[in-house]
Amino acid sequence: MKKAFIGVYGCQMNVSDAERMEGQLGTIGYERTEAMGEADLILLNTCCVRETAEDKVYGKIGEIKHIKERNPNLIFGITGCMAQKEGEKLIRRAPHIDFVLGTNKVHELVHVVKGIQAERGHVVDVSIGETELPEGMPVTRGGKFSAWVPIMYGCNNFCTYCIVPYVRGRERSRLPEDVVREVEEAVGKGYKEITLLGQNVNSYGKDHGKADFAELLSRVDAVPGIQRVRFMTSHPKDLSDRVIEAIRDGKHICEHIHLPVQHGTNRILKAMNRVYTVEKYRDLARKIRENLPEASITTDIIVGFPGETEEDFHAMLDFIKEIRYDSAYTFLYSRRSGTPAATMENQVDEACKKRRLSELMDVQNGISREINEALRGKTVEVMVEGASKNDDEIWTGRTRTNKIVLWRHGAEAPGDFVQVRITQPQTWVLKGEIQ
């Protein structure tokens, strides 16, 4: 077997795409290695949502130059969002890259690698036309019990800060029967937890009209043997009552909604082209809590969007305190050329952004700790993942609400469902005792 190193950056969609790349490479004799130095093929599946993600990849590209000098037969390709955005510029800047394959071209990987094996040379394919969705691609999943299943690709929303719609194209939904078939296959192989993926899962099916997201959720929930159904990401403008009801009525659909708010003032939300108002978001959060009292709500927040004043920032903090998220991913606004926000006036300076980010994180951490504190003494259902990073005796898993739980290992095995009584809730994790 030849060896392939696949570096993955960015979101779960990239993890999922990489599993499909690995599946395809398996059909032409490559198995995955974690050691870049011993690889016959190196793929970097990249992200460009923030500048820091791109910087990491450029660092890696530099490192690979030395590996390629020692091993000229090495094949080196860039895939994913940065590949789509930069195209052949990448090869001009770093000629040791053999190929650049865009986000819509995952299914062409075998073809491209074989071509390069045969005659070397460079290949760049970043066309993004309205091609049919590739179905039936082989997939080599990273997890044993949790599987990612993409249900749609692309995004139509054009939030003014975001590069994703430019590098992933317009929304295209897979057919419900194709999604359900993939879920059935995964469950048949022993997967217990399925996460449905899309940039905005709530607009699933609007293009083909065969089923909406609520219906898809119910159909996946009904797959025999499935234990947990998760989904990401929800856009507040499209999260319908039907979806909330489907979660409530589903047996296996986990009570966790990742509902990026991005900001907490109408002025900035409008400038971000988020389409909803704080009033509408507040209503939605209330509806979720009324129908799903156990649900956790998590979010993404950006600080330092152009024109964000101290007053806007404090109004946002107040909104965060009002909604009370279980946890939040917080980001410094990163200027992405080609997006409308990149050319807006009143860009916020870095030092100010950093100060605001740290203030926001302090506020959110306090809220997360308080919410978790309420779980002290309670018993929660956990799907066992395995030993934690730092200690073989301490095992980890997640609650239905997607909280990380740690406990001293007994006889349980990965993939088991266990009851854990929470004894030491913390900001990021819940420590407990297995019951």
Q: How far apart are CA 149 and CA 16, in angstroms?
A: 7
Q: Tell the smallest beta-carbon distance from residue 410 to ligand SF4 (Å).
A: 41
Q: Which of ligand 5AD, ligand SF4, none interacts with 44 (beta carbon under 5 to 8 A by kind)?
A: none
Query: 50-78 b/e with 16+ CB inside 10 Å = b?
Result: beebbebbeebbeebeebbeeeeebbbbb
Question: Closest CB to ligand 5AD among 259 and 430?
Answer: 259
With CB under 6 A as the rule, give the number of residues binding ligand SF4.
10
Q: Is 50 near ligand 5AD (CB under 6 A)?
A: yes
Q: Which of ligand SF4, ligand 5AD, none interacts with 244 (beta carbon under 5 to 8 A by kind)?
A: none
Annotate 248-274 with three-state secondary structure: HHCCCECCEEECCCECCCHHHHHHCCC
Q: Tell the smallest beta-carbon distance from residue 183 to ligand 5AD (Å).
A: 24
Question: Closest CB to ligand SF4 among 50 and 141?
Answer: 50
Instruction: Provide the phi-psi class of 29: left if phi over 0, else alpha when psi is between -120 and 50, else beta.
Output: left
Which helix (H) or strand (E) covers residue 289, if one does? helix 278-291
Q: How far apart are CA 215 and CA 310, in angstroms?
A: 43
Q: φ, ψ for residue 83 (rounded to 5)?
A: -60, -45
Beta-bridge partner residues of 256: 296
Q: Is 281 near ligand 5AD (CB under 6 A)?
A: no
Question: Closest CB to ligand 5AD among 107 and 356?
Answer: 356
> Which x/- pattern over 288-307 shows residues binding ligand 5AD (rule: CB under 6 A)?
------------x-x-----
Of the candidate spans 77-85, 154-162, 247-255, 404-412, the one that interacts with ligand SF4 by CB under 6 A turns out to be: 154-162
Q: Which of ligand SF4, ligand 5AD, none interacts with 336 (beta carbon under 5 to 8 A by kind)?
A: ligand 5AD
Contacts (Cβ under 8 Å, ≥6 apart) of 223: 180, 183, 184, 187
Using CB under 6 A, pick the residue from 159, 254, 320, 418 that binds ligand SF4: 159
Mutual angle of helices 213-221 and 176-188, in 10-degree steps: 30
What is the amino acid identity at position 175?
L
Residue 71 carries which DSSP code?
-
Question: Closest CB to ligand 5AD among 277 and 388?
Answer: 277
Alpha carbon dihedral 221, 223, 225, 226, in 10-degree steps, equals: -40
Q: Which of ligand SF4, ligand 5AD, none interacts with 165 (beta carbon under 5 to 8 A by kind)?
A: ligand SF4
Q: Which of ligand SF4, ligand 5AD, none interacts with 396 (beta carbon under 5 to 8 A by kind)?
A: none
Q: Is 124 near ligand SF4 (CB under 6 A)?
A: no
Question: Closest CB to ligand 5AD among 258 and 400?
Answer: 258
Binding site for ligand 5AD (CB under 6 A): 49-50, 161-162, 260, 262, 300, 302, 331, 333-334, 336
Binding site for ligand SF4 (CB under 6 A): 155, 157-159, 162, 164-165, 199-200, 235
